[in-house]
Structure 1
Amino acid sequence: MASTKSILKFALPAVVENFLQMLMTLMDTFLVARISLSAVAGVALAGNILTVYQAVFVAIGTVISSLLARAWAREKETGEATGLLASSQKLIWLVGIFLGLISIIGARAMTTLLGARGTMAGEARVYLMLVGGFMLFLALMTVYGAFLRASGDTKTPMMASFYANGLNIIFAGLFIFGLHWGVIGAGLGTVLARAIGAFFLYNKCRSAQIDVSFHFWKQKISRELLHLSGPATAERLVMRFGDLIVIALIISFGAKIYAGNAIGENITQFNYMPGFGMATATVILGASAFGQQDPEGLKAIVRKSYWLTALMMVLVGAVILLASDALGRLFTKDAVALSANHTVILFSLLATIFTAGTLIYTAAHQSVGNTRLPFLATSVGMLIVRVVLGFVFGHLLGLGLEGVWLAVIADNLFRFIFLKWRFQKALK
């Protein structure tokens, strides 16, 4: 049975890695804030679309980590794990290339659909075409990181994110302020940093004798990988699709409120940092316990992970709330935008206990190979609870941005209760 110390030993590098991934987006927003508020809004809008892509890679990476951890726990790595490694690489390459083409071809249509107009629309399209067009590099970082984490090495993916962040700051700073390339410079810095990060992880996989050769193109993609990745990816897509609808609602409140909301969401990403890292640990440790047929150990891992996640998220959220005004002023001096930023930070903290539960119990179901139930919960929570209540509270009742965030809290409460109930019922 995993102790709290062993969970933290595995999870903390994943927490730091998530922190560094979030920092990259935040630094791009911070740097373009020196250009204009429309550049902030444009990068934020494109970033929300790119987050959908990232969610797809995270979903596939989570399934890969779970399947590999179970395979290695059963000590059948020679055939089972080797086939999974090849299938995983082929799948992630195909998805990465497809999403890159979608970004280049559909940038105008996607940003227009979300309500972007004028200068903000132009900045959003440029960033989306550049960063989204080369999304394959993030896909490769995700899959190579999943391989290493499943093998028990969580520190190397963390270091890759650390290096990528440092390079992004250097490259983007040079391109924006040295060469005056504006939003193009911010996007190019991100692309180059991720390319180097992917190459670093590829070499580390080879050093760890993990088969990352390019012979995978001859391999048929595993049915089990597709069977589990489908609902997991759909769950992430539904979640991001719901987020995009909510963003469209917020844009209707005005560009300044949207910009403030974007700043707040960039800052509050750090609230969720412990949750994403702990969820990664829950999937891999839970899958290992499940592979060893240890239900009591699995329940203990999930229970401890939830309370550790909730505690860390509350502490981070409280610190950010106390510093909300100062943090907001790093991006803008506009009073309307600052007020919206404070609203996002406050409501994000209020939702923490429920958000932690949603993250951990989604991971718990994924660790035992049940990806359909989280998809069902997310579909109902996002498209019915969050979107419908967001429109009712925000527009019909006139509560504005506060109403939309009340709907966010209601969604996380619903999913937490539902997923926890079904997980406990399944293990009785």
Structure 2
Amino acid sequence: MSKDEYLITDTPLKALTVFAMPMILGSFFQQIYNMADSIIVGQFVGSSALAAVGACAALTNVFICVALGAGVGAGVLVSRYFGAREYGKMKTIVSTSLFSFLILSIVLGVFGFCFSHSMMRILQTPGDILNDAVLYLRVYFVGFPFLFMYNILSNMFTSIGESKIPLGLLVFSSILNIFMDIWMVVGLGLGVFGAALATLIAQGISAVFSLFLFLSRMRRYKSRFDWFDRQKLYSMLQIAVPSVLQQSTVSIGMMIVQAVVNPFGTQALAGYAATMRVENVFSLIFVSIGNAVSPYVSQNLGAKKIERIKKGYHAALVLDVCFAVLAFIV
């Protein structure tokens, strides 16, 4: 057995713990990545700028859920074929998903850029921060294809049992984002625009590195594949669409809450935005454990090791309880 196949060979609790820990650490750095803009803008520009960045969070999370759902749709099938050692089909899924979802990300990015002002008005964003919020949002949507690519490739890595590479890329991207934030916001005095531009650059570099690393990894699995397969795309969408709807439900709910908070003014919005950044640090731990279970189940399903699936479910519950206790104490 290859060391890449530990999700179908090691004991379930050990396999899930080894696999999930980098994902949990990754979620922590993802929040540092997200909080960097808020902290630096809030400290060096002011509460109005913090509120402008925070006002975009609920809306951008809805679009991020589309990227995450697309990644799940591709990742489940990649895991299944990887576990079954059908590497040609696995690589066909990879190629089909990258082409298809790149086009989708461009369409969504253009849509978001064109309607940023209208969407922020619908959310009742306070007038004194509306222009800054729209500016931040538009820069964000320019970089949306990079965000999409990074999330899909992260799912691809975890689907083949590799959760350390996405963690390394997140750490690198988070540190780069912080330094770029300080340079552009504090050094160049670009304010909200600088924070958005720093995030775009960090995401872009991270996405390009992810692509090169993943293509290099795929060279290990030598087999013929198709660049695009319509039937495989349909199979991905059958998984991706329910995943998008599931993940978007919470984000849409938070967006509605944000619309209720916004009319209370800039100070209330700044406080709400800061609190949500902290809350996400804890909630994403459990999301990461859930995301770790998906490749575990898919790989064992592909390898026809059905008895390991129930054991993996119980192991995931043990991890959930342990982290719930830890989060409560903190």
Q: Output the TM-score relative to the length of structure 2.
A: 0.89
The Cα of 1:57 is off from its aligned counterpart by 1.0
Give the one of 232, 239, 244 matched to 1:233: 244
TM-aligned CA distance change 1:318 to 1:115, over 3 Å: farther
Aligned residue in 2 for 1:390: none
TM-aligned CA distance change 1:310 to 1:255, over 3 Å: farther
| Equivalence map 1:24-423=2 (5 Å) | 24-34=33-43, 35-78=45-88, 80-209=89-218, 219-220=229-230, 222-319=233-330
Contact 2:79 2:159 in 1 (8 A): yes
Aligned residue in 1 for 2:4: none
Q: Deviations over 1:26-47 (max 9, x none)?
A: 1110011021111111101112
- Name the aligned partner's letter for residue 42 of structure 2: A
Contact 1:61 1:142 in 2 (8 A): yes
Contact 2:23 2:292 in 1 (8 A): yes
Aligned residue in 2 for 1:380: none
The Cα of 1:236 is off from its aligned counterpart by 2.2
The Cα of 1:279 is off from its aligned counterpart by 1.4
Contact 2:22 2:164 in 1 (8 A): yes
TM-aligned CA distance change 1:238 to 1:268, over 3 Å: closer
The Cα of 1:119 is off from its aligned counterpart by 2.2
Q: Deviations over 1:183-230 (max 9, x none)?
A: 00000000000111011111111221259xxx9875536210112111
Residues paired across the two proteins, number: 315
Contact 2:52 2:132 in 1 (8 A): yes
Q: Output the CA distance in 2 between the equivalents of 1:169 and 1:317.
A: 29
- Which stretch shifts more, 1-10 or 161-170? 1-10
- Name the aligned partner's letter for residue 49 of structure 2: A
Alignment gaps of 5+ in structure 1: 320-428
CA RMSD across the alignment: 2.0
Q: Output the CA distance in 2 between the equivalents of 1:88 and 1:315.
A: 37
Q: Deviations over 1:228-287 (max 9, x none)?
A: 111211222333222211211233444433322211110111112321221121001011
Q: Output the CA distance in 1 between the equivalents of 2:34 and 2:124.
A: 22
Matched residues, percent identical?
Answer: 22
Q: Output the CA distance in 2 between the equivalents of 1:15 and 1:184.
A: 30
Q: Output the CA distance in 1 between the equivalents of 2:41 and 2:301.
A: 46
Contact 1:16 1:277 in 2 (8 A): no
Q: Output the CA distance in 1 between the equivalents of 2:266 and 2:322.
A: 35
Higher relative contact order (CA 8 A, sep 6+): 2
Q: Output the CA distance in 2 between the equivalents of 1:316 and 1:255.
A: 30
Q: Output the CA distance in 2 between the equivalents of 1:252 and 1:314.
A: 36
Q: Deviations over 1:148-203 (max 9, x none)?
A: 22122111111111111111011111000111000000000000001110111111
Contact 1:42 1:123 in 2 (8 A): yes
The Cα of 1:145 is off from its aligned counterpart by 1.6
Q: Output the CA distance in 2 between the equivalents of 1:42 and 1:156.
A: 33
- Name the aligned partner's letter for residue 167 of structure 1: L
- Name the aligned partner's letter for residue 180 of structure 1: G
